[in-house]
Structure 1
Amino acid sequence: MRLVEALAVLLLLPPAARADATGPGQGAWLAAEKYPEGSDMKVLSADGSAVGKLEKLRVTGKYTVFDVYAEWCGPCRFVDARLREIVSRRKDVAVRKLNVVGFDSPLARELGPRLDALPYVVVFDPAGKRTDIVGADFGKLDRALGVPR
């Protein structure tokens, strides 16, 4: 999602959600939702710390979704909601959450130039094919997860 789209989303949020925004470009703080009981979701980095190569963190035999987000990123919440919906229906999908915190964190530096905006999602299919998704592109996410059109 680019700046214009992110601003549009922010402006559509109710005033109460926008009231807690802090600092320039820090988005609106929205309450985080819980993942369904029994879903394969783990937080690998809650504080922007580096995690190592994503390829080595894949879950064998599953689609592995690395959701790179920041708590201040409003559009990231839409991606999170979509991922919660997906894992509630599919046991062949594992979600790994990576809170980048900011673009100067060790995690952001580790991800390198591929991380140029949030939301940023990396999907590995069960065979290891990697798909990088920048923005809340649910069509690309569905294709990466093998959802038929």
Structure 2
Amino acid sequence: MSSSVHITSKEQFSSLLTKSRFVVADFYADWCGPCTAIAPAYEQLASQLSRPNRITFTKINVDQQQDIAKAYGVTAMPTFIIFERGRPTSTVRGADPKKLSDAVRKLASEASKPDDADGSGEGSSGAVWIGAAAPKPYADITDQYEPKGLELLNRDSEFGTAKTLFDPSKPSALNNGKAKAADWVESDTDEQLMLFVPFKSTLKVHSLQVTSLPPADDDDDVPMRPQTIQLYTNRSHVLGFDEADDIPAVQTVTLQPEDWDSKTGTAKVDLRFVKFQRVTSLVLFFVDGDGDGEKLRVDRIRIFGEAGEKREMGKLEKIGDEPGE
């Protein structure tokens, strides 16, 4: 009996990415000679190293699951992609048993390390910090943002930039009070922030996580956590504050005090999924805060959903065959 899971739908694959810490995906085709040649070695690794909810080996037929192949830019077979906590971390292209074995055995060593129990740490090497459990069956797709296109209006230049919000590390404010001033964003002249986030591919956005960790202090200068957030989709540029007043938001969210996790300072923002199906950019307008202060603070933002098409799949080709074979 095969130890690998044959993927029959995008939903099945998304669910596995959420449930299993590591997922190894073998993108293959029935007509691909090198795919057939390396299949026994792949099955042997799957048989030896599969562990429930820790390491899952999958096989994805690119002719039957073209949407998945497109989402991860697979244009040649065989291609092996290794995922950690829903995010692709390494790729092996071609029928190279040694290279594949080395990559998989390295992740097996990582899988033997314990997970961070409360979700408020960085976990194993290369892991991305999230402040709350990912919504099943969706994956963390924060890495789909385009860094060069980020814009953040009304930020205080003494603190972090827009990129700080998507930093994969745990917020320094959670490191026993040893916070670094450049590790979060604060508003400048008033409590409002306007964030423009373009994406590398078309996304289905299910929800967000917003982390805000102002110090527990009664000082009037302590920044506030966000309260009202207006969201806009598929804008070509950042909105001006006056412009946002004239454009209906796709969704307006009001966060309550009980929405914030007491350990990680993270609030889950559930979206109307049907309205966020083909998203190429997001604008987040932080309208006000949860108090009477004059400044707003945001430490991290995480995005959850499904990554869509990055480019046209093009002509599928085999890796490992000489021309004319």
TM-score range, shorter-chain basis? 0.5 to 0.7
2:69 aligned residue: 108
Query: Partners of 1:125 and 1:141 in 2: how far apart?
Result: 16
Of structures 1 and 2, the larger Rg is shown by 2
Shift of 1:71: 0.9
What CA RMSD, in Å, does the superposition of the two structures yield over aligned residues?
3.2
What is the aligned length? Answer: 103
After the TM superposition, which parts of structure 1 deviate over 4 Å for at least 4 consecutive aligned residues? 125-129
Bigger fraction of residues in strand: 2
TM-score (norm 2): 0.27
Identity of aligned residues (%): 25
Equivalent AA in structure 2 for residue 110 of structure 1: A
Q: Contact between 1:64 and 1:125, CA under 8 Å: does it hold in 2?
A: yes
Q: By how many angstroms is 1:66 displaced?
A: 0.6
User: Which residue of 2 is the match for residue 133 of structure 1?
Assistant: 92
Gaps of 5+ in 1: 1-33
Check if 1:57 corresponds to 2:16: yes
Asked whether the 8 Å contact 2:23–2:84 carries over to 1, the reply is yes
Q: Give yes or no for the alignment of 1:44 onto 2:7.
A: yes
Partner SS state of residue 76, structure 2: coil
Cα offset, 1:137, TM superposition: 2.1
Give the TM-score of the pair, scaled to structure 1: 0.53
Name the aligned partner's letter for residue 68 of structure 1. F
Aligned-partner Cα distance in 1 for 2:43–2:34:
15
Task: Give me the whole-angstrom Cα distance separating, in 1, the residues matched to 2:95 and 2:38.
Answer: 6
- Return the alpha-carbon distance in structure 1 between the equivalents of residues 81 and 94 of structure 2: 11
Query: What is the SS of the residue equivalent to 2:80?
Result: strand
Q: Describe the SS at the equivalent of 1:66.
A: strand
Q: What's the counterpart of residue 60 of structure 2?
A: 98
- Give the superposition deviation at 1:81: 1.1
Distance 1:44 1:55, change over 3 A: closer
Higher RCO structure (Cα 8 Å, ≥6 apart): 1
Residue 128 of structure 1 and its aligned partner are, at CA, apart by 5.8
Pair 1:81 & 2:40 matched: yes
How big is the shift at 1:88?
A: 2.1
Q: Do the aligned residues in 1 keep the contact of 2:26 with 2:59 (CA within 8 Å)? A: yes
Q: 8 Å contact 1:125–1:145 — kept in the other structure?
A: no
CA positional deviation for 1:91 = 3.2
Find the counterpart in structure 1 of residue 313 from structure 2: none
- Confirm or deny: 8 A CA contact 1:75 1:136 kept in the other structure: yes
The answer to whether the Cα contact below 8 Å between 2:28 and 2:61 also exists between their aligned partners in 1 is yes
